[in-house]
A and B are shown apart, each in its own frame.
Chain A
Amino acid sequence: MEREGIVRALPIADPASAADRSLAADPARKPRSRSTWHAPTTERPFAKWLLIGVALAFLAVFLVMPLVVVFVEALRAGLGDYLDAITDPDALAAIRLTLLISVIAVPANLVFGLAAAWSIAKFEFKGKSFLITLIDLPFSVSPVIAGLVFVLLFGAQGSLGPWLSGHGIKIIFAVPGMVLATIFVTFPFVARELIPLMQEQGAGDEEAAISLGASGFKTFWLVTLPNVRWALLYGVLLCNARAMGEFGAVSVVSGHIRGVTDTMPLHVEILYNEYSYSAAFAVASILALLALLTLGLKSLLEWRNAEHLRSTRGH
C-alpha cells in the first residue's frame, strides 16, 4: 500500500524534477561539482527538491484546491446570488445557531479542560491515567455514535425520555441536545493542549507562590494561568473550530427542523440536496472563512508572542 502510494505520487512531483534540472545550470551549484562531498545534514538536491515538490503538490491537491473550489463555486452564480444565499433567513438562523452552540460549548470546555489539566498535572491521585484515557474518549469514538448515545439517553424511547417529556423538557431534536453533542465531541481539545505543558512545567512555581504566602486562588490566577495562557488560547481556538464545523453528532440529534435546529454544516448539506449548489457553497464559504479567521488569529497570537512562547514552552 505504502509503496504504491509513493509510486503514484511520483508523476505529481514532475515540476520539482524540472526545477532540479534547471538548477543544473545554476552557477551557485558549480562548487559542488568539484567534489561529491556534502554536509551530512543537507540532502542531495534531487532528493531535497523531490521531497519539497511532493509536499507542495500534496498541499495543493488536498488543502489549497478544495478551499479554492469552495470560493469559486460559491461565487459562480455572481455576487448578488452569493449575498442572497447567505442572507436567506434559514441561512442566517443556521449561522446564529452555530455561533450560539459554540458560545456555550467552548466556555464549558474551557472550564472543564482547565480543571482537568490542572488536577492531572499538579496532583498525584489514583486513577489518573484512567482519567486521561477518558478525556481522550471523544477523539476515538465516532461522532455518529456520540449523537446516538444522546438519543438513546434522552430520546423518547430512551432511559430518561419519559421523565423528561413528563416535565416538558426538550433535549433531543432541540438546541440543548445539539449543545450537549458538541460539548462531547470537543471535550478533549483544551485539556489535551494543556496537560503536556502543565506536566512539563511541574508544580514548582505554584509551590514557590504558596510558600510566599499566596492563597490558592491567587496562585492559580497569578501563576498557573499566565503560564499556560497561550496553550489555553490555542485549545480554545481549536475547540471553537471543531464546534462550529461538527456535523455527525449534531446531525443525529438535530431533527433537521429548518430555521430552528439547523447549524451551518447541516444547512450546507440541505442546500446541496436541494440542488442549490451555489447556495450550499456560499454557506460553506462562510464556514471556511470562520476557519481561516481562527487560523489567522492563532498565527497572529503565535507571531506576537513568539518570545513568550519560547520561554514557557522551553523550545
Chain B
Amino acid sequence: MFRRFAPLAAGLALSLLVSSTAIAEAAMLNVSYDPTREFYRDFNKAFEAQWTKDGHQATEIRMSHGGSGAQARAVIDGLNADVVTLALQADIDAIAKKTGKIPADWRGQLPDNNCPYTSTIVFLVRKGNPKHIKDWDDLTKGDVQVITPNPKTSGGARWNFLAAWAYAQRKYPGDDGKVKAFMTKLYQHVPVLDTGARGSTNTFVHRGIGDVLIAWENEAYLALQKLGPGEFEIVTPSISIKAEPPVALVPGNADKDGNAEVAKAYLNYLYSPVAQKLAAKHFFRPFHPDDADPEDMTRFKTLDLVTIDDFGGWAKAQPHFFGEGGVFDTIYKPQQ
C-alpha cells in the first residue's frame, strides 16, 4: 500500500512545487466587486498589452470579485490586494482604518475622488412595462413588487435606498415624516431582500419575481445585453444618485511585493482614453465622456443626480441610515 502511495506523494510534491512557482511569477492582484467583472476583463488585457509595450516586464493582472463589503473584509484579513476597486468609499475607508495599508487621505490621490467611472441607479422592468413604471412614485402603487437587495449587506442597495430618499425629499421638502412614510411604503413592496446586487438581478431576471428591479445602471444594461434585450426595458427615473465606486492603491501590499510601480500605472491607466472608452462600453459613465464612443454615450440619459455629499458623505450617511437602529431599521419590517 505504501508503495502505491509513493508515486502519489512524489506527484503531490511536484505539483505543489509547480503551483508555488506559478505564484512567484510577476502578477498583481486587483480586488474588486461583482459588477465590474466584464469591464476589468477587457481593461486588464488592454493594460497588460500597454505595460509590455512600454518596455516593462510582462505582468499578469489577477482578479478577485465578490460583494464589496466581503471583499474589503478579505483584504483586511490578509487578501494580498495591490489595488482595490470597490463599490463604496466606506469599504476602502474600512481597510485604511483597520490595516493602515492604505493612507487615510487616499480619496483625492486620483482625479474625481478616485472615481474613473461612475454609475447611477435606474429601474429594470419587464417587456412593455406592464405596470407603467415611470418614476419612484410608481413603485409604491397597487400591487407592484420591487426587487432590491438588503442595504445592510449590499453596497448597491444603499445607493438604491438613498436615490429613493432623494426623490422623496424633493417631493416632500422639509417633511421628514412624509419622507419616511414614503420609504416605508416602498419597502413594503419588496417581497425579498437578497444579500447582493447580483443576487437581486438573478431573482428578478431568472426566477421571474417582481415587476421592477432597482439596480445599478451598468448592471441593468448588462442584464439587458446578456439575457436578451427583448425581455426587459430600462426606465430612468426623474432623479437618482451619482454612484461613485472608488479605486485605490494599497501601498502596504504593493510596496512589499514590488508592485507599486505597476499598480500605480494600472490605476492611472483607468483614466486613459482607452479605459474610458471601455468603461462606457461596459455601461459605466466615464469620467471623460469625450473619450467614449458617442454611440455608447447615447445610452446614458440625463437626469438629476444627487451625490453622497448631499447626505453629508458616507462617514455620516452610513451610520445614520444603515447602522444598528438607524433609519432603515425603523422603516423596514420583514414581511410575513
Contact = CB atoms under 8 A, between A and B. Distances in A.
Interface string B305-328: 000000000000000000000000
B62 A260 contact: yes
Contacts of A170: 80
Contacts of B99: 156
Contacts, number: 70
Nearest to A165: B78
Given A103-B12, A225-B1, A270-B65, A172 B77 contact: yes
Contacts of B9: 107
B63 A258 contact: yes
Contacts of A174: 23
Contacts of B37: 274
Nearest to B27: A260
Contact of B78 (A103, A107, A155, A175): A155
Contact of B77 (A97, A156, A275): A156
B278 to A, nearest CB: 17
B76 A275 contact: no
Interface string B49-69: 000000000000011111000
Interface in A255-292: 255-260, 270, 272-275
Contact of B79 (A100, A173, A272): A173
Contacts of B74: 173, 255-256
A258 B8 CA distance: 27
B229 interface: no
A273 B8 CA distance: 36
Contacts of B233: none
Interface string A100-115: 1001100100000000
Nearest to A174: B23
B3 to A, nearest CB: 12
Nearest to B37: A274
A311 interface: no
Nearest to A90: B63
A93 to B, nearest CB: 9
Contacts of A158: 77
A103 B223 contact: no
A214 B270 CA distance: 73
Contact of B226 (A107, A257, A275): A275
B198 A258 contact: no
A237 to B, nearest CB: 15
Contacts of B98: 157
A239 to B, nearest CB: 15
Contacts of A273: 34, 198, 202
Contact of A258 (B1, B64, B76, B226): B64
Contacts of A103: 8, 11-12, 15
B311 to A, nearest CB: 29
A175 B62 contact: no
Interface in A89-139: 97, 100, 103-104, 107
Nearest to A154: B78
A113 to B, nearest CB: 14
A151 interface: yes
Interface in B109-164: none
A174 B64 CA distance: 12
A100 B15 contact: yes
A256 B32 CA distance: 10
B28 to A, nearest CB: 11
A35 B37 CA distance: 73
A257 B15 contact: no
A151 B76 CA distance: 11
A174 B23 CA distance: 10
B21 interface: no
A259 B12 contact: no
B19 interface: yes
Nearest to B5: A107
Contacts of A225: 1
Given A100-B15, A175-B19, A273-B34, A256 B78 contact: no
B197 to A, nearest CB: 10
Given A225-B1, A273-B198, A257 B78 contact: no
Contacts of A97: 19
B26 interface: no
Central interface residue in B34, B66, B202, B222, by most chain A CB within 10 Å: B66
Instruction: Find the residue from A100, A151, A156, A259 having the highest chain B CB count within 10 A.
Output: A156
Most buried by A among B9, B15, B62, B74: B74
Nearest to B74: A255
Contacts of B222: 275
Given A255-B64, A257-B62, A275 B227 contact: yes
Interface in B221-249: 222-223, 226-227
11 contacts: A107-B8, A155-B77, A156-B77, A161-B78, A173-B79, A173-B80, A175-B19, A255-B74, A258-B62, A270-B65, A273-B34
Interface of A: 97, 100, 103-104, 107, 151, 155-158, 161, 165, 170, 172-175, 225, 255-260, 270, 272-275
For the complex of A and B, 7 pairs with smallest distance between CB atoms: A156-B78, A155-B77, A275-B226, A173-B79, A255-B79, A256-B64, A257-B64
Given A97-B19, A165-B78, A275-B222, 8 more contacts: A103-B15, A155-B78, A156-B76, A156-B78, A173-B74, A255-B79, A258-B62, A258-B65
